[in-house]
Every structure is written in C-alpha cells, then in structure tokens.
Amino acid sequence: MVFGTFDILHLGHVDLFLQAKKYAEQLIVVVARDERVKKIKGKAPIHSEEERRILLGHIDCVDEAILGDESDVYNVIVEKKPDIIALGYDQTVFVDKLEEVVSSNTLHTKVVRLKPYKAEKYKSGIIKEVIHSQL
C-alpha cells in the first residue's frame, strides 16, 4: 500500500509504484482526498480526487486505486490490513502515527521507505514550478 496526492503524475510516481510492487503481489494506491490536500498543501489539487483515482487505476502495476478515508487517514490501513506500507523517500505527512496505528490494531504490517528516482527532476513541486515559470 502506498499513499499520496498524485496530482501531477510523473516517472517518480511510476518508479514508486514499481518499487512498492516488488514487496507484494497486490499494490493498493490510496489517493488523498481533495479536502485533505487543501489542508496539507494550502491549495486545491489541479485534478479532482476522482480524476486522480481513475488515472492511477490505468497504470499496469497498480492493482487497486482507492480514495482515502474522509475522517481518519488511518482507517484505510485498518480496513485493508496491508502486509506492507511503502513510503516515498520524502514522505512525512501522517507517518508519525503509522507505527502506533499498526501496533494498536494488532496488524502485522511492515513499513518500508522507498528510494528516490531522479529527485532533482521528478518531484511534483519542481515540476509545478517549471510549469508556472513557463506560463
């Protein structure tokens, strides 16, 4: 299982999915809800949560793309009981309580940190800056 906004899909995301897929037979991608993105990033995503979910569902290595829970981001972990949660190399949001949620729900979920893929080029913030500078 991986989590993210995935608003501007790029090769860094694809590499994240491929790395995560090596850990399990099924890859579930949890897409951040629009309201959660607004709270975290201070602005709405370019694409709606449903558009992002549909797009991710068309990537071959993604077995299931689902929307995150609206009230508690950790509910999806308790519901789906993933064997592995794969975090992006720079992922910091909602990871502070991850181990606590896993242990308090007696899950046997392992948390792994994935490696970056050309982080100087394939990072959403960098790509958005380039796009805005060209407008």
Distance CA 77, CA 75 (A): 5
Q: Is 43 a catalytic residue?
A: yes
For residue 121, indicate whether it is catalytic: no
Q: What is the dihedral of CA 101, 103, 106, 108, to 10 degrees?
A: 100
36: left (phi over 0), alpha (psi -120 to 50) or beta: alpha
Which residue in the list 21, 22, 39, 43 is annotated as catalytic?
43
Name the active-site residue from 21, 38, 39, 41: 41
Catalytic residues, by residue number, are 41, 43
